[in-house]
Amino acid sequence: MTSKRIEILVGAFVSLGIAAMVMLALQVADAGGAGNGETYILKAKFDNIGGLKVRSPVKVGGVVVGRVSSIELDPSDFSPVVSMEINQAYNQFPETSSLSILTAGLLGEQYLGLQPGFIDEDIEILAAGDMIEDTKSALVLEELIGQFLFSLKEDK
C-alpha cells in the first residue's frame, strides 16, 4: 500500500520534471520554431560588421529567417565574410537581394536585415553557398559623428 503511494508520488514528481523540461524547450527556447529545421548557407561580404555576432538573427521584414553561423576575415582583401544559415522554408530569395546590418533600438543588438530584390526572368534564385553582393555595412557611431562634424565645418 505505502509502496504504491510512493510510486504514484514519484511518478508525479518525474512527470512534473519532464513537463518543466518540455515547457522550457518549447515556450522559453522555442525549439520548435525557426532555426532548428533544415537550413542552407548564404554568404555576404561587408566592409565593417560592427557588433554583429555569431547567432545574430537574419530578418526579412522583421521575421527571423535564419542566423549568422560564422564570421571570418577574407585573407585576400581583409574584409569580413559573414555566413548565414537560412531556413530551408525560405529558399526563394533572388540574387538581387540586399543585406544590411541594422540595430534593434538605440542600444539593442545588431542583426542582419535581408531586403529581397526584384525578380526577373534572367535573375537567378540564391542557392546554398551563394554570395549576396549588395551589402550595407554597419553604422559605426564614431564615423557618423566624424562625418557630422565634417559637414558642419564645410557649411561655415
In the region spanning residues 5 to 24, those forming contacts with another protein, defined by CB under 8 A, are 6-7, 9-10, 12-14, 16-21, 23-24
Map residues 50-89 to x or -, x wherever contact with another protein holds by CB under 8 A.
Answer: -----x-x------x-------------------------
Asked if 37 interacts with another protein (CB under 8 A), we say no
Shortest gap between Cβ of 57 and another protein (angstroms)? 7
If one asks whether residue 33 binds another protein (CB under 8 A), the answer comes out as yes
Residue 66 in contact with residue 86, Cβ under 8 Å?
yes
39-45 and 131-132 as β-strands: parallel, antiparallel, unpaired?
parallel
- Number of other residues whose CB lies within 10 A of the CB of residue 44: 25
- Measured in residues, the chain has a length of 156
Handedness of CA 74, 62, 97, 135 (dihedral sign): negative
84-143 residues near another protein, rule: CB under 8 A: 105, 107-108
Residue 18 vs 144, nearer CB to another protein: 18
Among residues 8 and 73, whose Cβ is nearest to another protein? 8
Q: Are 72 and 64 in contact (CB under 8 A)?
A: no
CB of 41 to another protein, least distance (A): 19
The CA distance from 96 to 90, in Å, is: 15
Shortest distance, position 13 Cβ to another protein, whole Å: 4
Three-class secondary structure of residue 72 per DSSP: strand
Separation between Cα atoms, residue 148 and residue 143, nearest integer Å: 8
Residues of this chain that interact with another protein (CB under 8 A) are 3, 6-7, 9-10, 12-14, 16-21, 23-25, 27-31, 33, 36, 55, 57, 64, 105, 107-108
